[in-house]
Amino acid sequence: MDKIKENTLYDKYPEFLKRKCLGPESSCMHWGICVGDGWYDIVDELCSEISKIKGVYAEQIKEKFGELRLYLFFDDNEFTGNKMEIHDIVKRYEIKSSKTCEITGKPGTKQKVNGWIKTLCDEECEKLQKGKISQNARSTRL
């Protein structure tokens, strides 16, 4: 994700995303939000919803097999929510990401490109297959 967009999320959800300040031996958030710009709104909405629950923090945000993945850290001393409800919220956004181009945010489908499964719109898939990788695509660590 573009660093400006990523920093915007850190500013909007400082408590929920606070584990980014930990080293790589303590939290995968150290590596940042590892998705394309096309999923910015999805990540923003998900953080907004989950950040309202006390005692739960983002442990890792990334793409895997063409879907958004959010791994969470629960502080047992603070957590007051229901883990099944949280699981259902996360699943809803995983499904949404599987229908949204990770690069552009347009409607997309899971496609195999150069050995990777990515959710892309047809236009971006064609570019990647032809080796025409946009600046935005590079930021997704393709």
pLDDT digits (tens, 9 = 90+) for 6-52: 999 999 999 999 999 998 889 999 999 999 999 999 999 999 999 99
80-102 pLDDT tens trace: 889 999 999 999 999 999 999 99
pLDDT at 132: 61
> Range with the lowest mean pLDDT among 40-49, 65-74, 112-121?
112-121
**77 burial type by CB count under 10 A (0-12 exposed, 13-18 middle, 19+ buried):** exposed
Whole domain around residue 62: which residue ranges? Answer: 3-138
pLDDT at 138: 42
Is the model's pLDDT at 122 over the cut of 60?
A: yes
**65 burial type by CB count under 10 A (0-12 exposed, 13-18 middle, 19+ buried):** exposed
Token code pair at residue 132: 């025409």
Count of beta carbons in the 10 Å neighbourhood of residue 40: 18
Is the model's pLDDT at 58 over the cut of 60?
A: yes
Count of domains forming the chain = 1
pTM (2 decimals)?
Answer: 0.88
pLDDT at 134: 53
pLDDT at 139: 42
